[in-house]
């Protein structure tokens, strides 16, 4: 049975990639600009706290209330969304229009 993290990651990637062409564009973007590389978009890394995210990136544009057990919370910024389990980052996803 997949963990909550795996399920959230699969859901996030499914939403972000509608169709084979989009999958290819996302894969190419990741290959060209790895997460948090100098050429890529800096965003929160897994394991840091909500307080650390807010200190480094400021307040989110929108906070989506927690759901599930363990509680998963989303913070939406202009260019990416951060997923938290309890108060720790489990993943961050660049918004589709920012990946191209």
Domain 4-98, classified CATH 3.90.550, yes or no: no
Domain map (residue ranges) of the chain: 4-98
Phi, psi angles (nearest 5°) of residue 62: -150, 140
**Are 89 and 53 a contacting pair, CB within 8 Å?**
yes
User: pLDDT by residue (tens digit) across 7-43?
Assistant: 555 555 555 544 555 555 545 555 555 555 545 788 8
Phi, psi angles (nearest 5°) of residue 84: -115, 145
Please name every residue paired with 1 in a beta bridge, in sequence order, or none if there are none: none
The total of other beta-carbon atoms located within 10 Å of residue 3's CB is 11
Q: Match 């050429």 to its residue by tokens.
A: 39
31: region left, alpha or beta (phi > 0 left; psi from -120 to 50 alpha): alpha
**What's the predicted TM-score (pTM) here?**
0.61
pLDDT value at residue 89: 96
Lowest mean pLDDT among 18-22, 70-74, 89-93: 18-22
DSSP, collapsed to helix, strand or coil, labels residue 57 as helix
Rg, the chain, Cα only = 14
């Amino acid at each position: 049975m997949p963990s909550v993290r795996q399920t959230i990651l699969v859901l996030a990637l499914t939403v972000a990639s509608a169709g084979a062409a989009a999958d290819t564009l996302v894969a190419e973007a990741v290959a060209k600009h790895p997460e948090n590389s100098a050429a890529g978009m800096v965003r929160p890394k897994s394991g840091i706290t909500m307080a650390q995210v807010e200190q480094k990136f400021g307040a989110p544009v929108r906070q989506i209330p927690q759901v599930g057990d363990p509680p998963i919370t989303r913070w939406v910024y202009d260019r990416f969304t951060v997923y938290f389990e309890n108060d720790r980052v489990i993943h961050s996803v660049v918004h589709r229009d920012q990946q191209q």
